[in-house]
Amino acid sequence: MATTAPVITVDGPGGAGKGTITQMLARRLGWHLLDSGALYRLTALAATRQGVSLDDEAGLAEVARGLDAAFEPTEPGEPVRVILAGEDVTREIRTEACGDNASRVAAMQPVRDALLQRQRDFRQPPGLVADGRDMGTVVFPRAETKIFLTASALERAERRYRQLKDAGVDVNIDALLEEIRVRDERDMNRSAAPLKPAEDAQVIDSTGLSIEEVLDRVMAAAGQA
């Protein structure tokens, strides 16, 4: 049964390296991957395309329930390919605007309820690596291994700055830092599943570490070193 498949949850704030680490970990183990944050971004994007207000909780929950979403693996170092209704929207959902909208949407309990079972359905043999902000606290509270990956706000802003510059996007580092601080504050203080480590999570600070060093620590924490 799918519910017997092991799960490794990797939670933490945006920019901590969760996406890269979970893809590397899933490839290393040969497990399935869930990018839960993408589901909220997809809900926000689908709502915008359908003309549903981001203040309409009931409308957003309906969009979430009918979300036609899929994830496809990519080459190492590339973000997971995100498909919405058959269309590759990987780049579109990674904009700062979409991320901000997703954070607003994720604060709404009706939307979270609508997406909860959808996320749990990704749990299939031989195992699942789940990337998000409440994977270990809400979605998979009995996961075998729970990681909370974090980094300083400044380092996360610098990482995002480099990503956007490499993509040819004109961006201001100070504005990025402020956006990250505002989003952290909102995510940590929202009433619906606030961003925090699960009580039994292992906290890993990636500040100043290479991605391979972070992966080694996560693998060791998961008993896979």
The domains found in the chain, sorted by start residue, are 2-221 (3.40.50.300)
**pLDDT tens per residue across span 157-214:** 998 888 888 878 888 999 999 999 998 888 888 877 788 899 999 999 999 898 899 9
- What's the length of the chain? 225
**Which stretches of 87-224 are assigned E, i.e. beta strand?**
87-88, 128-132, 145-150, 202-205
Q: What is the DSSP letter of 139?
A: I
Query: How many Å apart are CA 165 and CA 48, to the nearest integer?
Result: 26
Calculate mean pLDDT across residues 3-19: 88
Structure tokens at 90: 């990987």
Which position has the token pair 């203040």?
Answer: 55
Tokens 């309990």 -> residue: 109
Average pLDDT over residues 104-132: 91
Range with top average pLDDT, 20-24, 43-47, 78-82 = 43-47
Which residues lie closer than 8 Å to 53 by C-beta, 6 or more apart?
47, 59
Report the mean per-residue pLDDT for the chain. Answer: 89
At 133-161, the pLDDT tens digits run: 889 999 999 999 999 999 999 999 998 88
* HEC profile of 99-161: HHHHHHHHCCHHHHHHHHHHHHCCCCCCCEEEEECCHHHHHCCCCCEEEEEECCHHHHHHHHH
What is d(CA 13, CA 70) in angstroms, rounded to the nearest whole number? 23
pTM: 0.79
The answer to whether the beta carbons of residues 81 and 88 sit under 8 Å apart is yes
Q: What is the mean pLDDT of residues 61-84?
A: 84
